[in-house]
Amino acid sequence: MKRTAFRLLAAASLWLVALGAASAEERPRYGGTLRVQMKEAVLSFDPTDDKELTAARTRLAFLIFDRLTQIDDQGRVRPQLAWSWTSDAEHKTWRFTLRSGVLFHDGTQLSGAHVVGHFARANDPRWQVRLGNGPQVVVFECANPIYDLPAILASPRYSVVLHAEKPEGTGPFRVESWQPGRQLLLAANLDYFEGRPYLDAVDIQMGNSLRDQVIDARLDRDELLEVDIEQALRLQSARQRVDTSSPSRLLALVFRTQNPALRELLARSIDRNAIHAAILKKSGSPAVSLLPQWLTGYAVLMNDVPDPARLQKLRSDLSKAAPLYLAFDPSDPLNKAIADRIAVNARDVGLTVQVFGEKNLSASSRADALLFTFPAPSANSTQALIELAEAAQVDQNDVLSAGSPEDLFVAEDSLLGAYRVAPIAHLPVTVWLSTRIRNWKTLPEGRWRLEQVWLDSVK
Amino acid sequence: MSFRLKVLLVVLFSVGLSIVLVAWQISASARNSFDRLDAERTAALVAQFQKEMQRQDTEIEKQLSQIAAAEAVLKVGLENSHGQPDFSPYANTAQELAAAHSLDLLQVISADGTIISSAQWPARFGYKDAAIIGNPLPSAGFLKQEELPEGRALALVRVHPLQVREKPLFLVAGQILDEDFLRALVLPAGTRVWIYRPQGKDSSSGDLIAATALPDPGKISAFAQRMQLAYLGHQSARQFEIVHWTNDPADDETISSVPLTGRNGSLEAILLIGATHRARVEMSRNIRNAAFLIGGIVMLVGLVLAALIARRVTRPVEDLALAADRVASGDWHTAVRVEGTDEIARLAQAFNHMTHELLAQRERLVQTERVAAWRELARRLAHELKNPLFPLQITVENLLRARQHSPQEFEEVFRESTTTLLAEISNLKAIIGRFSDFSKMPTPQLAEVQVNDIVKDVGQLFAAHFTRSEGQPVEARYQLSTDLPVIAADSVLLRRAIENLVLNALDAMPHGGTLTFRSATEGDHILLEITDSGAGLTAEECERLFTPYYTTKQFGTGLGLAIVQSVVSDHNGRIWVTSQKGKGSTFHVELPTHAKAVAASDTMPARTS
């Protein structure tokens, strides 16, 4: 009996020690510098300039800048710099009331004038922005009804930037030093209106190859880095800490050729399942829609049934089509494999597709089509579709006027019907994490929320 | 060209021709040797190519055996044995295995021909390639044009079947025959190798695989295309061709072709072997240079020897020729030295005999002519002197008769007789004077003379005679050349000759007629023609006309035309007459235009025609 009591006491003691250790592990810890490796060499962290808003720049925008609204984990629109908003019945006039006491990183207090000036500089034809009743009220006068303007304004594209000596934001981190394309050192914004981040700093190294990044990670030089699908599989098999988001990035062909039949024939020829299974190693999902199923719920309704008669007609119409040049980003070896597979599929329908690597895809002058990976846009379907439409440079009016999921479905179906963009797969965002990183939470769209992360003291 | 020079040239030509023939024979032999060498090198290269292919095939087989035992393949095989296999995890298997085993090509193919994984074209997973595993499976490697993303490539391919859980699986591996493969071949010196890969079965175009850059690969490709058509039976063609890369023959290359067939005897490629001509051209150049050098030396030696031989052979002939020239120029006392007993010696003896006979005959002829001349002179003198002597005799007899029979008339007879006697004596003196003049023809004193002027002067002198009152007048016509050159002549003698010709013409036209003076230039002579319209002469008269003391006239001395001929001969000219009975006669006088000729002729005997 005594022995049994002793055993129970020992077990209880061990449980308490373990519980204490666990509590200590979950307890937030301020301080430390998180070292991050990003594949892309970002040349500008200002999300409002004319450059393409890539995935890396999107991530940086979320760290340095805020928007009037934000999308939460569930895809709902939440206040950020704007405390509240209202619209008229026609959804053409929107009034946003700004938070008080928000400071830019240089100490300037955010006001409605800053927001108006910021949007006036952007000169978006879809709306006019003016001050409302009071310095913290901003009014958007839309040319056409926009049913979900707050969701749209949650895009990093509409980050509020104070253009002083350098772009200043109100985000959780401020820029400490900046070497374009090489390094961005961020320091915690101690005055952040939602409270200071746990981390003291974030040291972001850029432009290294994925292979180098993995080597650095293995050598414990970094704590966070983005990895591609194959690396993620290898790291997982090596029992490394890998975090994968929902399939939110869209891998698609973006056509530049003006021949609609050619676009349709090539889009229809793609064997998406084979690409998904063999090349993407079943990571993500084959895509026939712009937005993933988990985001809209209607992707399964998109038509992906093979239509041999249609294919035959397109083939006969394009019997003497000139070779089509397909450009891909050579930094990810999977892109070449996918492009090659598309070329092989195209041969089956009589098309000659010549693939070539192009570092700067958007600037490619000879490409008839681009194998493009759109960054994960948002957890909000409306905002996500608008983001994709903007990125793909296709008409988005139907999306802007979509007031319901049904409208959004119709709008997306209409976008797809033009065969300007041919979805191939939805891919997750995958990162490798050091075991020191705590409170990491993967957002569905793959966004990093570094302001909520802290580092374990033990290295 | 002299005989000696001819002999010399014949000897030199013979020597030169011999050298050329020898050089040509050597060159031809060298060329044949090089042709044989090229054929041997080509055969050696083909053998080495086949050996290298065999080695590659063995290596592929070895690698395939190892791959077949690999765990990754075993996994694929196990998946293959499932009812509904999912090969997607193995799409990269072939790439990894090919890289690990240094294979250019590797495909894992299921029993139904589905490509499970492809190293050379990873994107082709899931596609069918049933033909490669069709029965019967080849036991060795074979050539195949493999489809790659960037186009076709020629490859040596081997199929390796294996069974996993009684389900067949096929490994198809190979190596691409590219530039590196060609570089790995150990080529005989002076050879190169290419592989021509037709683009399609019936296509006449293709790609050239070359280990080194070519200045103009189109030349090789064009030949290969012809070979391709020939092998496909579309046309006939030679198996080799000479390609001229530059203007230098040393850069030429003989390209031979060898067809490379695939699994079912299909033409997969053409092996092209180039053998440079540099060695043979350099050899030919060396032979030619040696021939030139040796030929030059031999020609030089031959020249000396030929000169010596020619001199020995031709000297007697030259002596004969010189002697003949001397005889021709009048030196009939010439004799040649007779050496030996050969044909040339007999010819020399005959020549000496001939000149001796000529001298004897000339002596006899001179004596005969001299006797004849004296007889003629005696006859003429007798004839000429007899005519005046008869009146003298009659007159003297009249004087004697008058003195005896009628002294009272003697005075009158005496005066008449002395007058007659003086006249006849004067006549005798004139006759004797003409003979004296002929014997004393002076040597011409040469000066620049215009013959036309002399002709005109003579015409002027005889103008009165042309319009004589008795008988019919003579019409003088002048057809004188306006560009007659000045000649070197004695104007006095020439005038005298022309006067004699005019007098002769006037005598031939007692009833008047036409006297034509004609002058012209013919080569290096001037030609003067004096034509009358008299009775003409017979052929016999023409032949004898210039013989001294021959005359056709009743009172002529026969010395006029002899004097003319003497003057013309002294000017190194010639005179002849043409005549037709009843139509007049023409005297042709040809005189040299060059003073030298005349001056030179001064030392030579006058020619007669």
Q: Write down the pLDDT at residue B608.
A: 36
Mutate which: B96, B114, B127, vs A, most A CBs within 10 A = B127
Per-residue DSSP letters for B386-397?
Answer: HHHHHHHHHHHH
Q: Write down the pLDDT at residue B38.
A: 80
Q: How confident is the model at residue A178 (pLDDT cuts 50, 70, 90)?
A: very high
Please, which residues have CB within 8 angstroms of residue B381's CB and are 6 or more apart in sequence? B435
Q: Write down the pLDDT at residue A210.
A: 63
Mean pLDDT over all residues of chain B? 83
Residue of B nearest to A338 (CA): B123
Residue A173 CA, chain-centre distance (Å), reads 19
Q: How confident is the model at residue A7 (pLDDT cuts 50, 70, 90)?
A: low
The residue with tokens 């063995």 is B58
Q: Write down the pLDDT at residue A87.
A: 94
Closest of B208, B203, B196, B206 to residue B260, by C-alpha: B196
The model's pLDDT over A71-80, given as tens digits with 9 standing for 90+, comes to: 888 888 999 9
Q: Which residue has the higher pLDDT, A314 or A402?
A: A314
Residue of A nearest to B121 (CA): A340
Beta strands in B486-603 (DSSP E): 487-489, 513-522, 525-531, 574-579, 585-592
| Two structure tokens written together for A42 | 């970002």
Pair B227, B205: CB distance under 8 Å: no
| Chain A residues 345-384 with a CB less than 8 Å from chain B | 355
Tell me: cis bond preceding A330? Omega within 30 of 0 counts: no
| Two structure tokens written together for A353 | 């597709």
| Two structure tokens written together for B181 | 């493969």
A340 with B122: Cβ contact below 8 A: yes
Q: Write down the pLDDT at residue B531.
A: 94
Pair A298, A411: CB distance under 8 Å: no
Q: Distance between CA atoms of B73 and B77, rounded to whole angstroms?
A: 6
The residue with tokens 């006759």 is B431
Q: Distance between CA atoms of B458 and A86, rounded to whole angstroms?
A: 154
According to DSSP, the residues that pair with B477 across neighbouring strands are B516
| Two structure tokens written together for A147 | 């049913």
Instruction: For residue B127, give the nearest of A277, A281, A344 by CB distance.
Output: A344
Pair A238, A256: CB distance under 8 Å: no
Residue A274 at interface with chain B, using a CB cutoff of 8 Å:
yes
Pair B577, B590: CB distance under 8 Å: no
- Chain A nearest-CA distance from B90, in A, is 7
Res B599 pLDDT > 50: no
The model's pLDDT over B543-552, given as tens digits with 9 standing for 90+, comes to: 777 877 677 7
Q: Distance between CA atoms of A365 and B292, rounded to whole angstroms?
A: 67
Q: Which residue has the higher pLDDT, B237 or B589?
A: B589
DSSP-based three-state secondary structure for B103: coil
Q: Point out the least confidently predicted range of A160-174, A190-204, A289-303.
A: A289-303
According to DSSP, the residues that pair with B521 across neighbouring strands are B526
> What amino acid occupies position A269?
S
SS3 sequence of chain A: CHHHHHHHHHHHHHHHHHHHHHHHHHCCCCCCEEEEEECCCCCCCCCCCCCCCCHHHHHHHHHHCECCEEECCCCCEEECCEEEEEECCCCCEEEEEECCCCECCCCCECCHHHHHHHHHHHCCCCEEEEECCCCCEEEEEECCCCCCHHHHCCCHHHCECEECCCEECCCCEEEEEEECCCEEEEEECCCCCCCCCCCCEEEEEECCCHHHHHHHHHCCCCCEEECCHHHHHHHHHCCCCEEECCCCEEEEEEECCCCHHHHHHHHHHCCHHHHHHHHCCCCCEECCCCCCHHHHCCHHHCCCCCCHHHHHHHHHHCCCCCCEEEEECCCCHHHHHHHHHHHHHHHHCCCCEEEEECCCHHHCCCCCEEEEEECCCCCCHHHHHHHHHHHHCCCCHHHHCCCCHHHHHHHHHHHHHCCCEEEEEEECCEEEECCCEECCCCCCCCCCCHHHCEECCCC
- Chain A nearest-CA distance from B59, in A, is 29
Q: Distance between CA atoms of B607 and B570, rounded to whole angstroms?
A: 8
Mean pLDDT within B222-228: 82
A278 with B87: Cβ contact below 8 A: yes
Please, how many CA atoms are within 13 Å of residue B265, restricted to the half-sphere of its CB? 2
Res B380 pLDDT > 50: yes
Q: How confident is the model at residue A275 (pLDDT cuts 50, 70, 90)?
A: very high
Strand A137-142 relative to strand A127-131, pairing: antiparallel
B149 with A340: Cβ contact below 8 A: yes
- Chain A nearest-CA distance from B121, in A, is 8
- Chain B nearest-CA distance from A278, in A, is 4
Residue B294 CA, chain-centre distance (Å), reads 26
> What amino acid occupies position B13?
F
Mean pLDDT over all residues of chain A? 85
Mean pLDDT within A450-454: 90
Q: Strand order in B585-592's β-sheet?
A: B474-479, B513-522, B525-531, B585-592, B574-579
Q: Write down the pLDDT at residue A310.
A: 86
CA angle, B455 as apex, B452 and B456 as ends, to 5°? 85
Q: Write down the pLDDT at residue B328.
A: 80
Res A13 pLDDT > 80: no
Closest of A390, A337, A398, A346 to residue A368, by C-alpha: A346
The model's pLDDT over B106-131, given as tens digits with 9 standing for 90+, comes to: 999 988 888 999 999 988 888 888 77
Q: Write down the pLDDT at residue A68.
A: 95
Q: Write down the pLDDT at residue B518.
A: 94
Q: Distance between CA atoms of A17 and B265, rounded to whole angstroms?
A: 81
Q: Distance between CA atoms of B403 and B489, rounded to whole angstroms?
A: 59
Q: Point out the least confidently predicted range of A154-163, A166-175, B106-115, B400-409.
A: B400-409
Residue A122 at interface with chain B, using a CB cutoff of 8 Å:
no
Q: Write down the pLDDT at residue B80.
A: 85
The model's pLDDT over B250-284, given as tens digits with 9 standing for 90+, comes to: 888 888 888 888 887 888 888 888 888 888 888 88
Res A451 pLDDT > 60: yes
Q: Which residue has the higher pLDDT, A15 or A418?
A: A418
Res A219 pLDDT > 70: no
Name every chain A residue with its beta carbon within 8 A of the beta carbon of B124: 344
A344 with B124: Cβ contact below 8 A: yes
B121 with A337: Cβ contact below 8 A: no
Q: Distance between CA atoms of B476 and B463, rounded to whole angstroms?
A: 8
Query: Exposure string (b/e) for A78-98, b if CB count within 10 Å is 16 or more?
Result: ebbbbeebebeeebbbbbbbb
Q: Write down the pLDDT at residue B335.
A: 84
| Two structure tokens written together for A263 | 């676009």
Please, which residues have CB within 8 angstroms of residue B467's CB and are 6 or more apart in sequence? B473, B474
Res B504 pLDDT > 90: no
Pair A416, A250: CB distance under 8 Å: no
Would you put residue B194 in left (φ > 0), alpha (ψ -120 to 50) or beta?
beta
Q: Write down the pLDDT at residue A65.
A: 94
Pair A197, A108: CB distance under 8 Å: no
Strand B167-176 relative to strand B151-164, pairing: antiparallel
Q: Which residue has the higher pLDDT, B576 or A221?
A: B576
Q: Distance between CA atoms of A70 and A33, rounded to whole angstroms?
A: 26
Burial of B433 (0-12, 13-18, 19+ CB in 10 A): exposed
Q: Write down the pLDDT at residue A24.
A: 47
Q: How confident is the model at residue B515 (pLDDT cuts 50, 70, 90)?
A: very high
Mean pLDDT within A432-443: 86
Q: Distance between CA atoms of A230 and A227, rounded to whole angstroms?
A: 8
Q: How confident is the model at residue B519 (pLDDT cuts 50, 70, 90)?
A: very high
Q: How far from B554 is each of B383, B436, B551, CA to CA, in Å?
A: 12, 21, 8
Mean pLDDT within A210-227: 69
Query: Could you give the residue ranges of the DSSP H alpha helices within B406-478?
Result: 410-439, 451-461, 463-466
Q: How confident is the model at residue B602 (pLDDT cuts 50, 70, 90)?
A: very low
A343 with B121: Cβ contact below 8 A: no
Give the number of residues written for chain B: 609
B88 with A282: Cβ contact below 8 A: yes
Q: Count helices and strands (H / E) in chain B.
A: 14, 17
Pair A36, A225: CB distance under 8 Å: yes
Q: How far from A347 is each of A315, A319, B125, CA to CA, in Å?
A: 11, 12, 14
The model's pLDDT over A346-401, given as tens digits with 9 standing for 90+, comes to: 988 888 899 999 888 878 888 999 998 888 777 888 888 888 887 777 777 777 77
Q: Write down the pLDDT at residue A8.
A: 57
Pair A249, A404: CB distance under 8 Å: no
Q: How confident is the model at residue B556 (pLDDT cuts 50, 70, 90)?
A: low
Residue A279 at interface with chain B, using a CB cutoff of 8 Å:
yes
ipTM of the complex, rounded to two decimals: 0.72
Q: Distance between CA atoms of A39 and A227, rounded to whole angstroms?
A: 8
Q: Write down the pLDDT at residue A404.
A: 82
| Two structure tokens written together for B538 | 């017979």
Please, which residues have CB within 8 angstroms of residue A153's CB and are 6 or more apart in sequence? A67, A68, A69, A82, A96
DSSP-based three-state secondary structure for B306: helix
Whole-model pTM: value is: 0.62
Mean pLDDT within B498-524: 89
What end-to-end distance do the CA atoms of chain A give, in Å?
Answer: 44
Q: Which helix (H) or strand (E) holds B554?
A: none
Residue B122 at interface with chain A, using a CB cutoff of 8 Å:
yes
| Two structure tokens written together for B191 | 């050879």
Q: Which residue has the higher pLDDT, A74 or B526?
A: B526
| Two structure tokens written together for B353 | 């005999």
